[in-house]
Amino acid sequence: MKLQLPKRWFNRLLCYAGCFGLVFHGTAALHAWWHNIPLEYFWWMLLAPLLCLLSGLWPALQIQKEHN
């Protein structure tokens, strides 16, 4: 299975939202670590961007079906 950005607009939007969410989550976690702020639900907050990214990339979870 080759991973590439989807062609359909909504699947691509979900990929972009997932990537932005992962980057934002990483920078927020780095900021919290730097300032000794505890993150209680770190792993639960990580599920939302991962689900966006997977639902854009994985064909079984795509909302708009990709045609080859």
The residue type at 34: W
Share above pLDDT 90 across residues of the chain, in percent, rounded to a whole number: 41
Whether 21 maps to a domain, the answer reads: yes
Residue 1 inside a domain? The answer is: no
- In the three-class reduction of DSSP (H, G, I as helix; E, B as strand; rest coil), residue 8 is classed as coil
For residue 67, being part of any structural domain is answered with: no
How many domains, the chain? 1
Provide the mean pLDDT of the chain: 87
Is 41 a member of any domain?
Answer: yes
Q: What is the pTM of this model?
A: 0.80
Cα torsion angle, 25, 30, 35, 36, sign: positive
Q: Could you tell me if 50 and 22 are in contact, meaning their C-beta atoms sit under 8 angstroms apart?
A: yes
Q: Could you tell me if residue 40 is inside a domain?
A: yes
pLDDT at 19 over 90: yes
Indicate whether 68 belongs to any domain: no
Segments forming the whole domain that contains residue 36: 9-61
Closest CA to 16 of 26, 25, 6: 6
* Cβ atoms of residues 51 and 57 within 8 Å: no
Contact 56, 15 (CB under 8 A): yes
Q: Determine, yes or no, domain membership for 3.
A: no
